[in-house]
Amino acid sequence: MKIKIKNTLKSSNTLLVIPVMPNDLKSASFKKFNQEEALSKKLMASFSAKKATYLYLAGAQTERIMLIGLGDQNSYKDILYAFRKFGVDFKNNLDTKLTLNLSYLETAHDAGQISLLTAAAVNGLQLSIYDIGLYKTADRMVHPLAKSTASLTIITEKTFQKEVEQAAYEGVAKGKTQLSVMDLVNAPGNKAIPEVLGQWAVNSGKQYGYKTTVFSKKKITSTGLHALLAVNRGSEYQPAFIIMEYKPKNAGKKKLPKVGLVGKGVTFDTGGISIKGHQNMHYMKSDMGGAAAVLGTMELTAKLQLPVHLIGIVPTTDNCVDALAIKPGDVINSYSGKTIEIIDTDAEGRLILADGLAYLNKNFKPEIMLDLATLTGSSVRTFGYQCGAVFSKNEQLISQLSAAGNIIGERIWPLPIWDEYQSHMDSDVADIKNFSGRPVAGAISAAKFLEFFTNEHPRWAHLDIAGVAFGDTGFSKQKSATGYGVGLLVAFLKNLVK
């Protein structure tokens, strides 16, 4: 979808889309637009401009007009949803060319609000083209905005042209990256195997200018990533250890914030010997939502050329049942040198993250270290599907992450990681066990396990995103990928380097 920015609206046969908040209907600029277009008073009187409401009109000068209600909150999340729903609901009636008119809003909104509205609206339109039917063989309709000829013209005042242009670019760039990683999460476990994730990272790195290295099983073995190898023992597919590193092209010797990310890349999780119940096990193709967030963040950060030194690590394997699979009671090694007693083979994500965190810390020494994982059902039972859980002893880091999530609509909320919980992970036979075995504080004890492998890093945070990376989106019949994490992390990085 190509973007064009203009300052005046001339007669056009394209659909004119106008975002509206309830108060905007009363503004002098909107009343003037209403008079010029001679809009139906009866229809206008019935329009409330509540979130994700629509009014289709014909004007005197403009052939087709669509008002999109944003509601009172005017949040990124609400705007994105309204435009995505519009793009999905009306795709059969859309052309490849669309005009978005923001000009009448600018008497009531500042540059920051206009930028947020633009980015969210364009992001929503880009996401509206998503087609979850990845492997259907029948011919399917191509969304008009997905065609090579698709374009969006944005009408804005000259005062805000620069901000609108940048925000529109970011909205498209973010949307395209989210679509790509959503494909990975929605793909079945026999399609999005570790090799595929590694190739995605290699291709993305070549296209957008960041370094990617993918360790083979032989290299993983010689490096000593024993916990990753242990989880992989039951699999027919080779594991991969993906290392990505981005620096802006013109960085030179400039001091940049150094941030490291680790994403859980379990491409399918049967639970291993501690096998899961059959109900909804097919959704365990989504257990690499943390990896998708890290892959997407690396790509989008490179697209936007953010002034940050970013490292992303994705340990990836599936977790299957086989004669060679690890068993409850086994003791395994790890990259850190610490030994782990296996209590539950379904607590496998934390094992591969342990190797990822220890490798990142030792070899890159980042100033900030974050890991993301669809880790525990406990976090879902605590927060439902409204937000992710965040754990850290660094209150400033929690505050920074939370602020970024609130802006972008990908919320997180802190849970305690007090030292008293470490006893839940004490083992009689090894340095630590991988599962507490207690019916309480599951997300917290998982975080304590991960903390054990951070070497007491002062600015580490763990994000448990099990309830928000995959769920009922309203845009598919089954649960599907949400694209969560990319927006949160990039917003965090942008605020960090301001």
**Nearest alpha-carbon partner for 353 in 271, 425, 288:** 288
- Rounded-to-integer distance, Cα 464 and Cα 287, Å: 12
Residue of 350, 433, 448, 494 marked catalytic = 350
Active site (annotated) includes residue 276 = yes
Is 350 a known active-site residue?
Answer: yes
Question: What angle do the packed helices 161-186 and 194-208 form, to 10 degrees?
Answer: 160
Give, to the nearest 10 degrees, the angle between helix 395-408 and helix 486-496. 120
Q: Angle, to 10 degrees, between the axis of helix 486-496 and the axis of helix 161-186?
A: 140
Q: 277 in the Ramachandran plot: left (φ > 0), alpha (ψ -120 to 50) or beta?
A: beta
| Three-class HEC string of the chain | CEEEEECCCCCCCCEEEEEECHHHHHCHHHHHHHHHHCCCHHHHHHCCCCCCCEEEECCCCCCCEEEEECCCCCCHHHHHHHHHHHHHHCHHHCCCEEEEECHHHHHCCCHHHHHHHHHHHHHHHHHCCCCCCCCCCCCCCCCHHHCCCCEEEEECCHHHHHHHHHHHHHHHHHHHHHHHHHHHHHCCCCCCCHHHHHHHHHHHHHHHCCEEEEECHHHHHHHCCHHHHHHHCCCCCCCEEEEEEECCCCCCCCCCCEEEEEECEEEEECCCCCCCCCCCHHHHHHCCHHHHHHHHHHHHHHHHCCCCEEEEEEEEEEECCCCCCCCCCCEECCCCCCCEECCCCCCCHHHHHHHHHHHHHHHHCCCEEEEEECCCHHHHHHHCCCCEEEECCCHHHHHHHHHHHHHHCCCEEECCCCHHHHHHHCCCCCCEECCCCCCCCHHHHHHHHHHCCCCCCCCEEEEECCCCCEECCCCCCCCEECCCCHHHHHHHHHHHCC
Q: Which of 276, 393, 459, 479 is catalytic?
A: 276
Least Cα distance to 295 among 409, 195, 202, 394 occurs for 202
Q: Known catalytic residues?
A: 276, 350
